[in-house]
Amino acid sequence: MRPANEAWDILNGAEQICSAAVVSDTVKRVAGEITAALGGRCPLVLSVMGGAVVFTGQLLPQLAFPLDFDYIHVTRYGNATRGGALDWKVLPRENVAGRVVLVLDDILDEGHTLAAIRGKVLDMGAAAFYSAVFTDKQIGKPKPVKADFVGLEVPDRYVFGFGMDVHGLWRNLPAIYALK
């Protein structure tokens, strides 16, 4: 557990790169794009815990079509600022076989986690795989997977807020910040 003053020091030393208003407008736009593409398909929506919880919570009420919901928990970061080995904590409880699956995640960084999720979901028999990420980090090199729906592009910096954490903190911010 970190002292509150350390958390405030992190936030006060960061730069806001996307306001809460832009975040809200972006969620609405992505919901419209997903509705147009998947509205008639009754997909199984899988939220990637814990980063996608805020994005998922704000997106789902704006999806104007029937869907099933479940979650998965896989991470490469834990509370670190650099990715490590893939850690599968929870697989989908819902049967994905024969289903159209939409995976929601907070960020597409190097793409390794989303590529592994895509592979796992397709190996489990999904009929189709789609992904929506709230942020796509512009890392300047090819990624093994692209998201079908992207909210915002962010610079190649460590970003946090709106579900993304920094040392386990500040997922609850309505805006997006970057460490300096």
The residues annotated with a catalytic role in the active site are 109
Where do we find the tokens 């579900």? 163
Burial of 3: CB neighbours in 10 Å, binned 0-12, 13-18, 19+: exposed
Residue count of the chain: 180
CA distances in angstroms from 179 to 79, 93, 138, 156, listed in the order given: 15, 36, 15, 11
- Name which of 41, 119, 107 is nearest 76 in CA terms: 107
Q: Is 178 left (phi over 0), alpha (psi -120 to 50) or beta?
A: beta
- Distance CA(43)–CA(69), nearest Å, equals 8
End-to-end CA distance of the chain: 23
Is the Cβ–Cβ distance between 43 and 102 less than 8 Å? yes
